[in-house]
Amino acid sequence: MYKDKRILAIIPARGGSKIIPRKNIRFLNRNPLIAYIIKTAKKSKYIDKTVVTTDDSEIGNISYIFGADKIIERPSDLAQDQTTLDPVIYHAYKAYQEQSNTEFDIIITLQPTSPLLKTSSLDKAIEKFVEKNSSSMISVIPTQHLFWEKKDKQLSPYYPKRLNRRQLEPVFFETGGFVISKSEIVTESTRMVEPLEIFELSELEGIDIDNYLDWTLAEKILSRKKFLLRVDGDNEIGMGHIYRMITIANNLLEHDVKFVIKKSSKLGLAKVYSQNFEVVEIEKEEEFFKVIENNDPDIILIDILDTEENYLQQIKSYNPFLVTFEDLAAGLKEADLVFNAVNATDTEDKQDHIFNGYKYLCLRDEFHLVPFKTIEKEVKNILITFGGVDQNNLSKTCLKTIEKLQLKDIDITLILGLGYKSLENIQKLASVMNKSGFKINVFQDVKLMSQHMYKADLAITSNGRTVFEIAAIGVPCITIAQNERETLHTFAEEAPGVTYLGLADEQIDSKIEQELKLLLEDYSKRLEMNKSHLRYDLRSGIKRVLRTIFDHYDEKFPSNILNIPPE
């Protein structure tokens, strides 16, 4: 009831739908279609009773399960394909009025084919209806398009002047969402009188399921999940975490995705903003909990390396599905899922929620665009890249090795990360070498790394994510661990297509020289390394990760059934 107005909602749902058979009780995102509109009505602050008029006992029984107050048996003559809704609603209204011995002031027609209608919108419409003392109101969607109409068998523009869409005056079309009527105007032939009020709905709320295309669209929208992606990236920790979360976000376009990044992570923020994702900036980690509270996410992804136990426990108190990446600390036991693609494939304490190894690599989108490398007998291009920071300045070590070996006939591509701190010095070294006949090309902040990798006949890199990217393309690779954490990344030790030189130490320059000479001279070895990369299906990793997340989410939250118990 709203301002002493008793309100009855009537949901018409016959059993003879043709385009989508048994439409009203078919499962849409794990719920019968009719369940959604019943839920919308039952959650209303103002609707007093919700009844379903139907000619089908199965629809009636299911409607009771989801909370309908009464099922009105519809006569067969009101359940034909050509029957309009006016006599159906009138019959149900009068039948329930007589059965309940209750007078109603407002009658609302709600269609089962509008599963995305929000209760908040319905309540606002009721408030507007009563405040303006309206006689009838319909739900509409405003649209701005260059419409055409036929006049005397000729097409004419509907618009007076051809403008950009957003400059056009909106046109309104009626949705199946609701019709609100004063009970006194409801007859067998109408539920609307002039002046007619309209209530604008969003395009999503206005979806009216009439065919399989509408059904598919509604299914996609209803199955959307809210994701929060907590990640940082800067000169110190590198940008790999940012790139991984962007890759995952790019594969979640059907869902609601929001990044949460510290303001101090300026490089990471700039990269995510450049991809046009929504971002929430925080100064302190404690602010993340408020973001969770305000957004009520279904799934939280955390990619900030090792996490503390109490931190994850506090996040879990909001009951999201919690996933961590490259977490070797508390995340191993506190998270719902842990993905450690770059770490050991085997652990002493195997747990079902921990997924280690290359199969769970989230390869950036660009690496799906290049073909697998064909190895030539002669090495014409060597790629050198050591990530965002290159803490041991292995870039310089490699250039000095190139100089020592006098590899003047080979194009050397040196790619530096944004966190590299000796840019001016390395550029001077490259310039001096080029003047003496070398071909050194230095790049920083490359947009398409995959193109440079594909051009390379041989690559030298650190023992992080770049190894997987190079392997996915099929380039023989020499890799060096920059720190102790990278020594835990075992793919380079296992993959025959990669020569792993261990942790960078005082002898690393001689190790690079020895291995580089060997591979330059041994075509059969490089060919073998190239072919061995084929055994690793690195390009399917992102699909495995997302499939694993959604499968385990469904296991933890096994049902989306609305389950409004009958009174």
Report the alpha-carbon distance of residue 555 to residue 90 in Å, rounded: 45
pLDDT interval class at 156 (50, 70, 90): confident
Rounded to 5°, the CA angle 152-155-160 comes to: 105
Average pLDDT of the chain?
91
| Segment 282-292 mean pLDDT | 96
Over residues 24-81, the pLDDT tens digits come to 999 998 899 999 999 999 999 999 999 999 999 999 999 999 999 999 999 999 988 8
Q: Is 210 exposed, middle or buried (0-12, 13-18, 19+ CB in 10 A)?
A: middle
Q: Which residue intervals of the chain bear CATH 3.40.50.2000?
A: 371-536
Please choose, from the candidates 144, 116, 138, 139, the residue with its C-alpha nearest in 3D space to the C-alpha of residue 209. Answer: 116
Per the structure block, which two tokens stand in for 139? 């739900």
The third-level CATH classification (topology) of the domain covering 7-221 is Spore Coat Polysaccharide Biosynthesis Protein SpsA; Chain A (3.90.550)
Please tell me which residue, 8 or 364, carries the higher pLDDT value. Answer: 8
Report the alpha-carbon distance of residue 492 to residue 319 in Å, rounded: 38
Report the alpha-carbon distance of residue 338 to residue 350 in Å, rounded: 12
Q: Which residue intervals of the chain bear CATH 3.90.550.10?
A: 7-221
Does the structure show a pLDDT above 60 at 11? yes
Relative to beta strand 7-12, strand 49-54 is parallel
Q: In Å, how far are 215, 299, 312, 540 from 553, measured between CA atoms?
A: 23, 8, 17, 20
The third-level CATH classification (topology) of the domain covering 371-536 is Rossmann fold (3.40.50)
SS3 letters across 416-440: ECCCCCCHHHHHHHHHHHHHCCCEE
pLDDT reported for residue 284: 95
Over residues 467-481, the pLDDT tens digits come to 999 999 999 999 999
| Segment 536-553 mean pLDDT | 94
pLDDT reported for residue 561: 56
Residues 6+ apart with CB under 8 A from 46: 1, 2, 7, 123, 126, 127
pLDDT interval class at 564 (50, 70, 90): very low
User: What value does the CA radius of gyration of the chain take, rounded to a whole number of Å?
Assistant: 32
CA within 13 Å, CB half, 262: 13
- Cis amide bond preceding 195, omega within 30: yes
Span of 178-182, 287-291, 372-376, 563-567 with lowest mean pLDDT: 563-567
% of the chain beyond a pLDDT of 70: 97
pLDDT reported for residue 40: 96
Does the structure show a pLDDT above 90 at 318? yes
pLDDT reported for residue 489: 84
Handedness of CA 521, 524, 530, 533 (dihedral sign): negative
Query: Helix and strand tally (H, E) in the chain?
Result: 18, 24
**224-365 domain in CATH 3.30.70.100?**
no
Q: In Å, how far are 226, 323, 437 from 557, measured between CA atoms?
A: 14, 15, 64
Does the structure show a pLDDT above 60 at 235? yes
Given the structure tokens 């507007």, which residue do they identify?
A: 128
**8 A C-beta contact, residue 201 and residue 270:** no
Whether the model pTM is above 0.85: no
pLDDT reported for residue 312: 94
Report the alpha-carbon distance of residue 31 to residue 562 in Å, rounded: 7
Over residues 242-284, the pLDDT tens digits come to 999 999 999 999 999 999 999 999 989 999 999 999 999 999 9
Over residues 294-311, the pLDDT tens digits come to 999 999 999 998 888 899
Report the alpha-carbon distance of residue 500 to residue 462 in Å, rounded: 9
Given the structure tokens 């099922």, which residue do they identify?
A: 71
Does the structure show a pLDDT above 70 at 350? no
CA within 13 Å, CB half, 93: 29
